[in-house]
Structure 1
Amino acid sequence: MELRGKQKRFLRSAAHHMQPLCQIGKGGLTDSVLDQIEDTLDRRELIKVSLLQNTDEVAEEVAEVLEREIGCDVVQVIGRILVVFKPSSREKYQKISVDVRKI
């Protein structure tokens, strides 16, 4: 789903008060971390991912990998925190994506 500017703005405002749910640490961006992010996105649709200080990963490179591997949209990158969105495949978890489509 290609997001327009107003949709990204809506998602950024919705994620403003969220705490990061997934963290990338010393081990880097492994398959298990990707699976965790994908599973969390399927339940929440909009999450924050933080890069801890002890990781060698760069936020922009992590954003590219997430978009390529998971098929999600990285809405915003601020420092070491990424705001990530992907519509849920399960209908009962589709709350934010319904609002995004209306915009």
Structure 2
Amino acid sequence: MPTALTAAQTRFLRGQAHDLRAMLQVGGKGVTEALLAELDLALEHHELVKVKVAAADREERDALVARLADGTGAALVQRIGHVAVLYRPSTDHRQIVLPRA
């Protein structure tokens, strides 16, 4: 189940993600189980992750980003061009404290 975010939380996370670099890249093979497992580990450790999606057209990029978010239970914070920002709170050690409203 994807994490639901309010508009204020989304704005806050976009600001936090501004200086991040893309940790993972979706290549020609698309979204594989190994990629989902690696993204799951990255989200558990960092909570906020940038992913670069190498797809030719917008619809394909949107579909790949949706599969990443659904496969890991993460919320899509933003997508600009080929880069998507995903957020999921850590179960063991939360680092990012979201605003309430």
Structure 1 residue runs of 4+, over 6 Å off?
Answer: none
**1:14 matched to which residue of 2?**
16
Higher helix share: 1
Alpha-carbon distance in 1 for matches of 2:29, 2:38: 14
Higher relative contact order (CA 8 A, sep 6+): 2
5+ residue gaps, structure 2, are none
Identity %: 30
**For 1:6, what is the secondary structure of its paired residue?**
helix
TM-score (norm 2): 0.86
Asked if the contact 1:76/1:83 (under 8 Å) is kept, the reply is: yes
Q: 1:1-103 residue pairs with structure 2 within 5 A?
A: 1-52=3-54, 58-91=60-93, 94-96=94-96, 99-103=97-101
Letter in 2 for 1:95: Q
Q: Secondary structure at the match of 1:35?
A: helix
For the aligned residue pairs, the C-alpha RMSD in angstroms reads 1.8
Report the TM-score, using the length of structure 1 for normalisation: 0.85
